[in-house]
Structure 1
Amino acid sequence: MEAILPGAPWLIAHRSMLGINKPYKISLNGQDYVLWQNQQGEVFALDNICPHMQAPLSDGWICSDRGTIACPFHALEFDGQGRLHNADKVGSQPLLNSLELVIQDDCIWTYGGYSPKIPVPDLIAKVSSGMSFLGVAGEKSIHGTFLDSISINYDYNHQSGTHRDLFGIKANRIPVFEHDGYYAKVVQELEREDSTWNDILRNPVILTAPKTYTGTLEYAFPALTTFRTDFSLGEILQVHALYPETATQTKTFVLVYTQPKHPILQPLMGRFVLNAVATVIEQDTRAIETSYSRQPAKIRLPNEEIMFYAQKLYREWLNVL
């Protein structure tokens, strides 16, 4: 397939998603790769196809004493450079292509084999300073184009419909929208309906949400959307990552950080917040996957210039020098 946004940095995983000595498969722009992390914290990535009889290496295992990945068909072993290990001998030439990785603050990035067009953003380190990493939620492959998937993260009207059952938003104000190149910042003021007992039973974390609250969203196009807000239990930060698996399939996951007002509240925040984030992703996924093919809109809603800004960046990408 023709690569989507070639030269973009993609956040493909967090260290916590790999585990130790466990193969982890990703697809990026139509190519499958296998990632793994050894006990020393080194991370490797290779083409996921064994050069012998084309078995998926991600179905194999990691030989912890040698740090190699073993093919599930014939137990052939390959190191992080793609070289064959046979008994005590190491092949002189790689038989598999390795994927170049950039690791920053436990986040694993790649350009997918293309020359960098823009640097890996430092947004996560900036917005998560002083906060504790809670975990990953909402890891999912969405049947939808990357443009459709990214547009929903810049759509400031879908909360009233897509997430109505979860948050009950009745008013949505955008007092701030700033952008500079591939960076953007939005301040969003949300007002919720009164919660019913059914709302509380379905989503107990709603008890911690004020009737009116402010969220700050920052973007590093095309990979990241961050959302930070202050609830009664403490501050919550969500880092939404997106990357194109294929022309019609998009991968998403959310890194969640917290700063509880008291340490004893951390377990309570963790359980409810991760569940709520996963529900948001499920609702967004359904909205994308059930929509008909895009047609020119005959209705214009407030604040859509934010979404149009992202779509413009997407269309102009190939023209960037």
Structure 2
Amino acid sequence: MLQGAPWLLAHRSMLKPNQPMKVSLYGHDYALWQDKNGQINCLPNVCPHMGAMLSEGWCVSQTDGSSTIACPFHALEFDHTGCTTLPGSQKRTLPQMQPLELIIQNDFIWSYGGYEPKIPVPNVLNEISENYEFIGHIADTSVETDLLTMLLNMHDYNHQNGTHRPLFKIQEVQFKSFIDNGHHSHAFYDMPIAPTGLWEKLKQPDLMVLPPILKAHLENYFPSLVIFHGDVPMAKIAQVHLFIPESKTHTRTYVLMYGIPKNPVFNLFKKTALKMAKVVVEQDADILSKIYPNTPQKIKLNNEVGMDWVRRNFESFPEIAEPNLSK
């Protein structure tokens, strides 16, 4: 599961103050919460008393603005260090849990899952947040598939006119180029949209915002994120897809959406953009549940260079695979 890679557990907007959120990484569950001061804490999700899930409990605010997390079974409260005060004796214990080390960059909550870092946290999201307006997050989903299969699907550019045909009416994928810079790559391709009449657009209003040809630019940072750079009449979009190996058999994915408005109707477009991203994730999750894993690939299509990039980096991690530029 590529131990030593950084994973974006959450965006700060996903954490409501003093409401625990369950996250999973490398086969371990954690309770993540933010106090009123904005401090973000993360403990193993199991109470050391009798094993209850802390994420099913609640947070208790302290006078200084910090908060503890309370076990839903016996209401034991644990601070961010994993210490609790025993009822009756009022004795404060030593830390009973090892907090998960987090790397907080602006609104981004990264973690190496307790492993030694082998590749750096990419700076691209900080750059996007400085230049784009944050629209929101959507489609936080745990998919029953391993990380490699998930990434191969995301970098399979030929699946756009199959899996996503119902949403975008894509007729074909016209692949342009792939730029391989090790753990950082770019893919460029065009996707002509099938002509639709007024009645069909009225039944599916999302089609009204699509240009005749979808020009895709995917910017990829192995292994945890794919950024779709889109340009539509109303806005310039950066749609960020995140991936987290929850376990050997489950991979979590979600989307962060950013935009640069071009005209005032952009505000009306925000919900449509989020809705489309949600459907994309749902369609990908659905198809991943309908394939037989480990099937020998007897047919190779053109333009599988993105999938090859994923396989090479998986095999060589953390070393950088030999670049295969613009093939």
1:103 and 1:203 map into 2 onto residues whose CA distance is 40
- Paired residues of 1:20 and 1:37 also in contact (CA < 8 A): yes
Residues 1:156 and 1:128: Cα distance change in structure 2 (over 3 Å): farther
Q: Superposed, which structure 2 residues align to 1:240-319 within 5 Å?
A: 240-262=241-263, 264-317=264-317
SS in 1 for 2:122: coil
Residues 1:303 and 1:257: Cα distance change in structure 2 (over 3 Å): same
- Paired residues of 1:166 and 1:203 also in contact (CA < 8 A): no
Cα distance, 1:317 vs. partner? 1.7
- Paired residues of 1:10 and 1:243 also in contact (CA < 8 A): yes
Letter in 2 for 1:178: I
2:142 and 2:269 map into 1 onto residues whose CA distance is 26
1:157 is matched with 158
Cα distance, 1:126 vs. partner? 2.9
Residues 1:203 and 1:274: Cα distance change in structure 2 (over 3 Å): farther
Cα distance, 1:255 vs. partner? 0.1
Write out per-residue CA displacement over residues 70-110 of structure 1, whole angstroms, 9 at most, x where no aligned residue: 11111111111111135796736210110000111311110
Write out per-residue CA displacement over residues 156-185 of structure 1, whole angstroms, 9 at most, x where no aligned residue: 100010001111112322323111121011
2:49 and 2:135 map into 1 onto residues whose CA distance is 41
Write out per-residue CA displacement over residues 103-154 of structure 1, whole angstroms, 9 at most, x where no aligned residue: 1131111000000000111121234542110111111010111111111111
Question: Which shifted more, 265-274 or 280-289?
Answer: 265-274
2:55 and 2:92 map into 1 onto residues whose CA distance is 21
SS in 1 for 2:172: strand
Q: Superposed, which structure 2 residues align to 1:37-186 within 5 Å?
A: 37-65=34-62, 66-86=66-86, 91=92, 93-186=94-187
2:228 and 2:192 map into 1 onto residues whose CA distance is 16
- Paired residues of 1:166 and 1:199 also in contact (CA < 8 A): no
SS in 2 for 1:170: coil
- Paired residues of 1:27 and 1:245 also in contact (CA < 8 A): yes
Letter in 2 for 1:217: L
Letter in 2 for 1:11: L
Q: Which runs of 5+ in 1 are unaligned?
A: none
- Paired residues of 2:81 and 2:97 also in contact (CA < 8 A): yes
Whether 1:9 and 2:10 are equivalent positions in the alignment is no
Residues 1:309 and 1:95: Cα distance change in structure 2 (over 3 Å): same
RMSD: 1.9
Letter in 1 for 2:34: Q
- Paired residues of 1:23 and 1:61 also in contact (CA < 8 A): yes
Question: Which shifted more, 233-242 or 206-215?
Answer: 206-215
Write out per-residue CA displacement over residues 292-319 of structure 1, whole angstroms, 9 at most, x where no aligned residue: 1232222221110211111111122266
- Paired residues of 1:178 and 1:186 also in contact (CA < 8 A): yes
Cα distance, 1:268 vs. partner? 1.1
Cα distance, 1:196 vs. partner? 4.1
Query: Which 4+ residue blocks in structure 1 deviate beyond 3 angstroms?
Result: 85-92, 196-199
- Paired residues of 1:236 and 1:259 also in contact (CA < 8 A): yes
Cα distance, 1:275 vs. partner? 0.7
1:23 is matched with 20
- Paired residues of 1:163 and 1:280 also in contact (CA < 8 A): yes
1:107 and 1:198 map into 2 onto residues whose CA distance is 42
SS in 2 for 1:151: helix
Residues 1:99 and 1:193: Cα distance change in structure 2 (over 3 Å): same
State how many pairs are aligned: 317
2:199 and 2:123 map into 1 onto residues whose CA distance is 41
Q: Percent of aligned pairs with the same residue?
A: 40
1:115 and 1:153 map into 2 onto residues whose CA distance is 27
